[in-house]
A and B are shown apart, each in its own frame.
Chain A
Amino acid sequence: MTHTEKTQKAQKTQNTEKAEKGEKGEKGAYEATGVPGPGPSEVPAGAPAGLDAHLVVDRGSFRLDVALTAAPGDVVALLGPNGAGKTTALRALAGLTPLNGGHLRLDGAALERTAPESRPVGVVFQNYLLFPHLTALDNVAFGPRCHGATKAEARAQAAEWLERMGLAEHAGAKPRRLSGGQAQRVALARALATNPRLLLLDEPLAALDARTRLEVRTQLRRHLAEFEAVAVLVTHDPLDAMVLADRLVVIEDGRVVQEGTPADIARHPRTDYIAHLVGLNLYKGRAEDHTVHVDDGPAITTTEDLTGPVFVAFPPSAVTLHRDRPTGSSARNLWQCEVAGLETHGDQIRAALTGELPLAADLTTVAAAELDLHPGAIVWATVKAAQTHAYPA
């Protein structure tokens, strides 16, 4: 399954899921049940709660420069391609990678000079990194133990966390005997057991197979919704980001390129990377009434009436291909293209087209056969104005 398809599904399921998630009266449920134990949260009176960070990390040719703010209860997803700096940002928040500049404040307390072990930060690592020589219970008890609890207290707290994660019967199991989903929950319990004010999750679902993923994603969403402090998760999977997070921060090449709610980003992508992720053809141009003049390209007719720099987006499924120039078509947008490549895309064929307007088009296998599509073939593409979407750049 490709990103685009997932994304389209995400968009569909998103509304219902957000509705469920809306009942955030549940927030603070963990706080209410009160896990005893030292939590290093010396909040100065009147200080702004939550995360206020400007992360600058210089690594020779690579520079990360990302501003990040979040209120308690927020779940923020850092989304971006591999090598964009998401994990570096997460490590900087945890203190595992030192900052070269900027600042990091959590509930008003400056943390940029604080050692990782003294930060009120919990991390769920990619591949979880459960200590292989300790049982699930002792993995979870590790944090409370380091924060000064006695062995018995730490174990009691850990047992409570495992119970909450529905893992009570696996308390005595070593990590290698746990399934991927169970290991993920143990890792989450371990991170939460120190009562962090900032929870970081690095690709929390990447290590799971497709079937487990769905179930674990749902559970994780519930646990994140109950978490009362700030949660930041890193992912390259738009579906994970959109299901789990209230807000997306898209990072490319060490910089924030777009920020907003999942719905907003899915509808109004501002870079090719995001457009590709959410499965849209995206062009930047200049609008004059209902016509958008694409930079170095043709004009696209849209329904929106705008002026100035804009983006135009339309899904590949909105593109219709013709072997010969269509005559009776009502479509306002007509371009001649050359097929550059074909790939299967679920039960459809996605054609990559070049020409005056490079675009992606989805069509059924039967249609592809009837059109005799092959790389190098010349086709005509039409898109109805009603299926395009223009918005200010």
Chain B
Amino acid sequence: MSSPTDAPDTPAAAADTLRGGPRRGRGRVRKGFGRGVPLPLLVPALLGLAFLVLPLIALLVRTPWHSLPDQLTSPEVWQALKLSLLCATAATAVSLVIGVPLAWLLARVEFPGRGLVRALVTLPLVLPPVVGGVALLMALGRNGIVGQWLDAWFGITLPFTTTGVVIAEAFVAMPFLVISVEGTLRAADPRYEEAAATLGASRFTAFRRVTLPLIAPGIAAGAVLAWARALGEFGATITFAGNFPGRTQTMPLAVYLALQSDPEAAIALSLVLLAVSVAVLAGLRDRWMTAS
């Protein structure tokens, strides 16, 4: 089973498309199908396009437009939406604070086992989210290897709390940010950091005052990807944080639950998530596609 709202499969590729795509294509665009696209390629291509677009069209077609305003203004929907936005934003913030330095470490410091560390960082990307949730329980659950001490020493319980939602989302979303930022860092010219060093900047100052501003677009793109992934996170969240309305029930969870009792509500909620996704994509386009 895959999570209901799958994010792009690799963040780096997605980020590349978002940032570099149009620049590469400019001036080399072939007009129409003038050069003759081979049929064995054209047919599957159109099929693929239909496969991706059709479900979205179906969602729009089946939307109960009459009852939509009522559905969307119901307190349950607002509660879930607010919680979703809050948790996704918090998870993105956590990912930024610890993910960007991790990306820098992977990109700029040579240490033994770097390849292994990179593989470990990437693992949550391909790991089924439910497994991630179970793993989080084993680590941070009340009887988890770290969680039991958190509970015993500080009285902190993470599972089945809003903080738990943030942790589950960050666990799943951070690799997107790390991979994206690491890619940007590798592409950024390290000689700027050397120039900063010759001017008397320590490595941290060089990072803060030179590297960070230079890779800001890459960080932003990675953050948006991570945020979108966190917003749609389902498997790890429901496993680690449960499904309590107002506390841990985010939009995807609400959609899934509503589908069993009130399909119209499920469609309305899905529509909201779709709108948010489209808005994110549109925002990215404005920032990085037309600007470059």
CB within 8 Å of B: which residues of A?
94-96, 115-119, 121-123, 125, 129, 131-133, 142-143, 146-147, 190-191, 194
Contacts and interface: CB of A to CB of B under 8 A. Distances in A.
Main secondary structure of the interface of A (DSSP, over half): mixed
Contact of A146 (B192, B200, B213): B200
A129 B197 contact: no
A132 B194 contact: no
B191 to A, nearest CB: 6
B201 interface: yes
Interface residues of B, number: 18
B29 interface: no
B209 A142 contact: yes
A117 B201 contact: yes
Nearest to B197: A116
B279 to A, nearest CB: 28
B195 A131 contact: yes
23 contacts: A94-B194, A117-B200, A117-B201, A117-B202, A119-B198, A121-B198, A123-B198, A125-B191, A125-B195, A129-B191, A129-B194, A129-B195, A131-B192, A131-B213, A133-B213, A142-B196, A142-B199, A142-B209, A143-B199, A146-B200, A190-B199, A191-B198, A191-B199
A146 B201 contact: yes
A332 to B, nearest CB: 55
Contacts of B197: 95-96, 115-117
Contacts of A147: 200
A146 B205 CA distance: 8
B210 interface: yes
B107 interface: no
A131 B198 CA distance: 13
B274 interface: no
B200 A194 contact: yes
Contacts of A190: 199
A123 B201 CA distance: 13
Interface string B13-24: 000000000000
A116 B202 contact: no
Contacts of A95: 197-198
Given A94-B194, A129-B192, A142-B199, 4 more contacts: A96-B194, A117-B199, A142-B209, A146-B202
Nearest to A146: B200
A146 B199 contact: yes
Contacts of B209: 142
B27 to A, nearest CB: 21
B195 to A, nearest CB: 4
Contacts of B202: 117, 146
Interface string B124-144: 000000000000000000000
Nearest to B210: A131
Contact of B199 (A96, A115, A133, A194): A194
A194 B197 CA distance: 12
A132 B198 contact: no
Contacts of A133: 213-214
A116 B194 contact: yes
B59 to A, nearest CB: 42
A132 B214 contact: yes
Contacts of B203: 117
Nearest to A127: B191
B99 to A, nearest CB: 22
B272 to A, nearest CB: 37
A117 B203 CA distance: 9
Contacts of B192: 129, 131
A133 B214 CA distance: 7
B109 to A, nearest CB: 15
Contacts of A119: 198
Q: For A94, A115, A116, A132, which residue has the most chain B Cβ atoms within 10 angstroms?
A: A116
Contacts of A115: 197
Contacts of A94: 194, 198
Contacts of A125: 191, 194-195
A122 B210 contact: no
A100 B99 CA distance: 35
Nearest to A118: B200
Contacts of A194: 199-200
A146 B202 CA distance: 8
Contacts of B213: 131, 133
A348 B199 CA distance: 47
The interface centre, meaning the residue of B200, B209, B210, B214 with most chain A CB atoms within 10 A of its CB, is B200
A131 B209 CA distance: 10
Contacts of A129: 189, 191-192, 194-195
Given A129-B191, A132-B214, A142-B209, A96 B198 contact: yes
A122 B214 contact: no
Contacts of B195: 123, 125, 129, 131
Nearest to B203: A117
Interface string B222-238: 00000000000000000
Given A129-B191, A132-B214, A116 B198 contact: yes
Interface string B152-171: 00000000000000000000
